Structures are given as structure tokens and as C-alpha cells.
Amino acid sequence: MHRAEFLDQLVKHIPKDIAKFGKHVESLENVDEGIKLRFSDGTETIHQAIIGCDGMKSKTRKYVLGEDTPVTSAKYTGKYCHRGLVPMDKAVEALGEDLAQNSSLYVGYHEHILTYPVQRGKTMNGKQVYET
């Protein structure tokens, strides 16, 4: 499933007056009323529960697991990943129907390429991962 499509489907189930998007969490703090979130735009809010989807520089992960826990900080792995989305008709034209419309994994020395359909088969997703 394409991530943007998945998020669009989730958002449909959230009342419009509840969720705010495009916010950047600066800090989290336990307070008597719950968890206080401070945002980069200067606003604050308090909630009873939070769901952290804030990426590899996650403030939420550090809040939950602790500042000094090794798993809270991203580390360079020595690998790069390139991703591309190709309209399925172009992928079929270039690779043939079988390779374009089915998940495939190509493994080489210190790298691999993974392809699979997304967006209900309208698009082929391709990822190349390699070491530097």
C-alpha cells in the first residue's frame, strides 16, 4: 500500500476538530493532567495518550524509552537507499508484465533491489539498497 494513501484513509476516521497536522514536536513532559507536548510553532497541548509517528529523529521514542537508551538515536549504517515510483504501464513496458506486477528481489554483492506494486497495482515501487 502506498503510504500517502494509507494515511489518507486513516485521517478520514478522525474528526476534523481533533487532529492537527504539520506540527513539529519539540518536547514532551509528564504533567498531572497527562502528557504535555510543546511544538516548534510555540503552541502546547496536553493529552492522555500519544502516538508517535515522528521519524528517525523521534522525540516521542526518546520520551518513551529514555534519552540515553541507544535505540533512541539514529546511527548511520553505511547503506543508502534510493526509491522510485513508476507508473505500472511504463514498468510493464520496460520489464514485462510478470516482473512489473509481482514482487521481486534482486540480490547482489553488498546491495539489493526490491520491486513491488503499490496503489492497487497502478504503480510499481522500486528500492535499491547498497553499502558505501
Please state, in angstroms and as integers, the Cα–Cα distance from residue 92 to each residue in 16, 59, 115, 122, following that order. 40, 42, 12, 11
Tell me if 36 sits within 8 A of 28, measured CB to CB.
Answer: yes
Report residue 11's pLDDT band, with 50, 70 and 90 as the boundaries.
confident
Report residue 5's pLDDT band, with 50, 70 and 90 as the boundaries.
confident
- Which one is predicted more confidently, 112 or 19? 112
Report residue 1's pLDDT band, with 50, 70 and 90 as the boundaries.
low
Q: Which three cell numbers stand for residue 6?
A: 494509507
pLDDT tens by residue, 47-73: 998 887 777 778 888 888 888 888 887
Q: N- to C-terminal Cα distance for the chain?
A: 29
Closest CA to 102 of 112, 92, 87: 92
Query: Phi and psi dihedrals of 51, rounded to 5?
Result: -120, 120
Single out the catalytic residue among 3, 38, 61, 83: 83
State yes or no: is 83 an active-site residue. yes
